[in-house]
Copies of this chain bind each other. A is one copy, B any other.
Amino acid sequence: MFEVHGFAAKDATSPLVPFTFKRRDIGPHDVHIEVLYSGVCHSDLHQAKGDWGNSTFPMVPGHEIVGRVKAVGSEVKKLKVGDFAGVGCMVDSCRTCESCQKDLEQYCTVHTSFTYNGTEQDKKTPTYGGYSTDMVAEERFVVKISEKLDLKAAAPLLCAGITTYSPLRHWNVGPGQKVGVIGLGGLGHMGVKFAKAMGAHVVMITTSEAKGADAKRLGADEVLVSKDPKQMQAAAASFDFLLNTVPVSHDILPYLALLKLDGTMVLVGALTPLDAFPGGALMIPRRTVAGSAIGGMAETQEMMDFCAEHNIVSDVEMVNMADINEVYERLVKNDVRYRFVIDMATMPKH
């Protein structure tokens, strides 16, 4: 065991404060990463504030973790000391269930060990996330990051990136398709970049004209303002695929009406109850609504390689570790374009 400096929420009502804890010494399959940057996901805030009712404290948030490999166990093959590497939302899973065998560890039917606010496979030892100087995880749950990528801007790929990449791939988004990305935030801005790189005709669907302009800078071919009934009516039944990144409860009916025959809308943001909608909206024509959560580790590596090939990273704003509580306040106000990343070199001495 060795000592690590981090920042933690001690309970749901207090600000995050410096926190010293221990990580395990590396085993034969482990990778020790010197954390250089850690992305700030909106779910960090939800969990630190206990919004989802499943929080355990102390909590060291952070599941968009990138850095340099400091040491590797004797059996590690994929990574070597000095490589750039990343850890996302998971650090372990059962590895034997049907989901794990399909490389979909996020859907492990036994126990997924989430990177923080979770437990190791013993279901007891708490996990601590990326708001810390050092990370240890098994090789399977560590991805290699190309030196071609701007490392700090690659951090959000580990959550915002894979969460949008995975459904676009799973539902075979590509050339000849009209694809809408609903909501322009941390997830949505990645969705636009990926869908465009995959060759689709990309439409940013947003409540505001202003966001639309920025979406075009990110690669969107068109903008559809969802508050304009005329625009929505004109676009009815014209989309092959919709990536719905709205992170809160909302009415999906206006978006369902945009799907053509056999079109699919995938929810990646809204965990909470959707407004009631008529079953008939899925029947005439035949339409699909699905959900998707992050992505498996093999697919996360595939995404990272895709990003290197297409030169895709997040649009980020760098922040200091000691400013995390103010950063959370800005998150609440949606004052971020499009992801905050903590520079771990700013970790205060403690």
Residues in A lying within 8 Å of B, measured CB to CB: 98-99, 102, 104, 106-107, 109, 170, 237, 249, 260-261, 267-293
B285 lies within 8 A of A290 (CB)? no
B291 lies within 8 A of A261 (CB)? no
B291 lies within 8 A of A279 (CB)? yes
Q: How far is the CB of A322 from chain B (nearest CB, A)?
A: 33
B261 lies within 8 A of A107 (CB)? yes
User: In the complex, A282→B288 CA distance in Å?
Assistant: 12
Contact of A267 among B106, B268, B279 (CB under 8 A): B279
Contact of A277 among B99, B273, B282 (CB under 8 A): B273
Contacts A107-B261, A261-B107 given: A286-B293 contact, CB under 8 Å? Answer: yes
Q: Which residue of B lies closest to A279 (CB)?
A: B270
Q: Which residue of B lies closest to A244 (CB)?
A: B279
User: In the complex, A280→B54 CA distance in Å?
Assistant: 14
Q: Which residue of B lies closest to A286 (CB)?
A: B292
Q: How far is the CB of A275 from chain B (nearest CB, A)?
A: 6
Query: A281: which B residues are within 8 A, CB to CB?
Result: 291
Instruction: Please provide the 8 A-B residue pairs with the shortest distance between their CB atoms, ordered closest to farther.
Output: A282-B291, A283-B291, A271-B280, A270-B279, A107-B285, A273-B276, A288-B290, A283-B293
B293 lies within 8 A of A261 (CB)? no
Q: Which residue of B lies closest to A272 (CB)?
A: B278
User: In the complex, A102→B112 CA distance in Å?
Assistant: 43
Contacts A271-B280, A278-B272, A279-B271 given: A290-B287 contact, CB under 8 Å? Answer: yes
Q: How far is the CB of A139 from chain B (nearest CB, A)?
A: 24
Contacts A276-B275, A277-B273 given: A268-B283 contact, CB under 8 Å? Answer: yes
A98 lies within 8 A of B271 (CB)? no
Given contacts A272-B279, A272-B280, 5 further A-B contacts (CB under 8 A): A99-B261, A109-B237, A268-B283, A283-B291, A286-B290
Query: A269: which B residues are within 8 A, CB to CB?
Result: 279
Contacts A282-B291, A291-B282 given: A274-B272 contact, CB under 8 Å? Answer: no
Contact of A107 among B249, B274, B286, B291 (CB under 8 A): B286
B293 lies within 8 A of A289 (CB)? no
User: In the complex, A328→B215 CA distance in Å?
Assistant: 55
Query: A274: which B residues are within 8 A, CB to CB?
Result: 276-279
Q: How far is the CB of A236 from chain B (nearest CB, A)?
A: 10
